[in-house]
Amino acid sequence: MYAMLGRTWRVVRPLLMAYLIVVLIMTFLETWLVYPAPQLSTGNWQPEGFNHQDVWFDSADGTRLHGWLFEHPSPQHIVLYCHGNGELVAHNVRLMSRLRDELDATVMVFDYRGYGNSVGKPHEAGVVADGIAAQKHLAEQAGVEPDEIVLMGRSLGGGVAAAAAAKLGAKAVVLQSTFACMVDTAAVHYPWLPVRLVMRNRYDSVARLADYDGPVLQSHGTSDEVIPYSQAQLLFKSVKSDRKLWYDVPDGLHNTPQPDDYYPKLREFLDF
């Protein structure tokens, strides 16, 4: 019996060691996987024909952050847009201009630490602090209270918007293609890894939105290949607000743009 156990251990041991090495490597790669910040050169930093201005502000720990402000002369809403993990402000100029015009809103988009012209290295606590700092800065610029800001977040930005709403409140939270909890999404893509035990960036939006009872509009592609549709619905079901609205993007993938009829529904939701 002991001989058999010894032979089994000799077979299992190298496999176990190999597995632990893979887990260690993936742990080291987590920041790169969660925050694949594009190169600065990929963005159009001097777009012509768009009325916007540079804004600079500091996160709570002094990290210098950069964004773009798209002002409306008579805004009905003040919107902070938190972009996805593979984007920069310079990738979103047309979208911000559209939001400004279709919603009659002043809109600000910003880059998290380590993205674009913002300095530092991204991690959950820092990125969340960046979102909160952006909300405070925009409120000060617009002359309103932070809880009068509409927080809009896509993908990773949904996690940032949820965290900011839990901390400062919001006029409304608008979520696009986002997760219930990042760890659960990672577990779908890496079922062979103990992500729930070792993952540092967790972004538990379900837990965070438990502290927010304002309006929520959530949209998601029915064919999203990155964040499963069922996980997005789990987040929506957890929202305790009396005023929440779900919007399907039929056959939409993770990076499928919102359909044209989304914007009138968004405006109607915000104007209520």
Residue 24 lies in a domain: no
Question: How many domains is the chain built from?
Answer: 1
pLDDT score, position 236: 98
pLDDT score, position 49: 84
Looking at residue 193, which CATH number applies to its domain? 3.40.50.1820
Residue 19 lies in a domain: no
Q: What is the pLDDT of residues 64-120, one digit of tens each?
A: 999 999 999 999 999 999 999 999 999 999 999 999 999 999 999 999 999 999 999
* Pair 152, 103: CB distance under 8 Å: no
Residue in this structure with the two tokens 């019996």, named with its chain if needed: 1
Q: For residues 250 and 179, what is the distance between their CA atoms, to the nearest angstrom?
A: 18
pLDDT score, position 23: 67
| Strand, coil or helix: 154 | strand
Residue 9 lies in a domain: no
Low-confidence ranges of the chain (pLDDT < 50): none
The count of other CB atoms within 10 Å of the CB of residue 62 is: 8
pLDDT score, position 13: 73
| Strand, coil or helix: 110 | strand
Residue 218 lies in a domain: yes
Residue 1 lies in a domain: no
Q: What predicted TM-score, i.e. pTM, was given to this entire model? A: 0.93
Full domain range(s) for residue 181: 35-41+50-271
Residues 6+ apart with CB under 8 A from 200: 30, 123, 124
Distances (CA, A) of 133 to 59, 157, 164: 5, 14, 9
Residue 6 lies in a domain: no
* Pair 143, 164: CB distance under 8 Å: no
Residue 102 lies in a domain: yes
pLDDT score, position 29: 83
Q: For residues 130 and 126, what is the distance between their CA atoms, to the nearest angstrom?
A: 6
Q: What's the distance, Cα to Cα, between the start and end of the chain in Å? A: 74
What is the phi-psi region of residue 28: left when phi exceeds 0, alpha when psi lies from -120 to 50, beta otherwise? alpha
pLDDT score, position 202: 97
Within 35-122, residue ranges assigned H as helices are: 93-103
pLDDT score, position 272: 83
* Pair 216, 175: CB distance under 8 Å: yes
pLDDT score, position 213: 93
124-142 helix and 156-168 helix, angle to the nearest 10 degrees: 60
Residue 5 lies in a domain: no
pLDDT score, position 192: 86
Distances (CA, A) of 18 to 14, 22, 27, 30, 190: 6, 6, 14, 18, 16
